[in-house]
Amino acid sequence: MLKFLVNPSKFIKFSNFIFKPLIIVTLLSFIVGLIYIYKSPLDYQQGLTVKIMYVHVPSAYLAILIYAIMTIYSIIGLAFKIPLSFIINKAIAPIGAIFTLSCLISGSMWGKPMWGTWWVWDARLTSVAILFIAYLIIIFLNQTFENREVREKIIAIFILIGSINLPIIKFSVDWWNTLHQPASISKLSSPSIDITMLQPLLIMILAFSLIAVIIAILRIKAEILIRKKHL
């Protein structure tokens, strides 16, 4: 059932099968999400700038999620020596970097009217910036070594060490007194965000994740085909 997550040829078959429906669902969810955002109410304090949230939150969520996926695949790859995990690591690192960058940029565009500065040295902001630098180092390491096995495994070890940062990002708003607000959507408690804003936010999170999946599928497929050609 879940063999396509570890087997390259099954992955290609599965992605060919799912690719067209995925694009349609993504387009639909984007259109629906944009309509919902247009209709969603303005915040009584923040006004129009609250709509930056619908870009900021999904990209922040994806930035962390992609690193977590890379961490899981590094463990799988190092423990069970599965080649597809290293392919996925290489393919989705730039996507994570782009989402982290978009999270940082949209956050600083949100911070300028609300907090009065583009950037504060706050725990949440600093740890996300460190995450961005970690993504950049992963991309650089991908260009550095000549030998492929060395490159893949060293990147996996680096990802594993760098994953210490993930819980720091998650809990930084709880552990330290920060300017950044704590999480509004939580699995365990009822959300502290109004339902009219929660609906478009969830739809945008879905749309952003689907876009990430589409780009990831394209990149992973290209990488698999390149490696098959060279073997």
Partner 1 sequence: MLILKKITLFFSRELKLFYSKITDLFSNILFFFLSIFVFIFAIGTDEQLLQTIGVGIIWVLLLLSSTLSTRRIYEDDFKNGTLIIMHMSGLSYELIAFLKIISHFIFFQIPFLISIPIAGLFFNLNINEIIVLIITFSIGSLIFSCLGSISASMNLLNKTNFSIGSLIILLFSIPVIIFSVGIINSNDDFSSLLNLLFGIALVFIGISPWSSATCIKLAIRNK
134 touching partner 1, by CB under 8 A: yes
Least distance in Å: CB of 162 to partner 1?
A: 8
Minimum separation from the CB atom of position 147 to partner 1 (A): 5
Residue 47 pairs in a beta bridge with 43
**Spatial distance between the Cα atoms of 6 and 16, rounded to a whole number of angstroms:** 16
Contact pick of 9, 16, 117, 144 for partner 1 (by CB under 8 A): 144
Q: Binding segment for partner 1 among 24-32, 34-42, 50-58, 150-158 (CB under 8 A)?
A: 150-158
Binding pattern to partner 1, positions 58-87, x when CB under 8 A? Answer: --------------------x---------
**Distant-in-sequence, close-in-space partners of 53: CB < 8 Å, separation ≥ 6:** 110, 197, 201
Which residue in the set 27, 28, 42, 161 belongs to the binding site for partner 1 (CB under 8 A)?
161
For 64-130, the three-class secondary structure string (H helix, E strand, C coil) is HHHHHHHHHHHHHHHHHCCHHHHHHHHHHHHHHHHHHHHHHHHHHHHHHHHCCCCCCCCHHHHHHHH
Euclidean distance between CA atoms 105 and 111, whole angstroms: 10
CB of 31 to partner 1, least distance (A): 40
Virtual CA dihedral for 82, 86, 89, 90, nearest 10 degrees? Answer: -160
Q: Decide if residue 119 touches partner 1 (CB under 8 A).
A: no
Residues that bind partner 1 (CB under 8 A): 78, 126, 130, 133-134, 137, 140-141, 143-147, 149-150, 153-154, 157-158, 160-162, 164
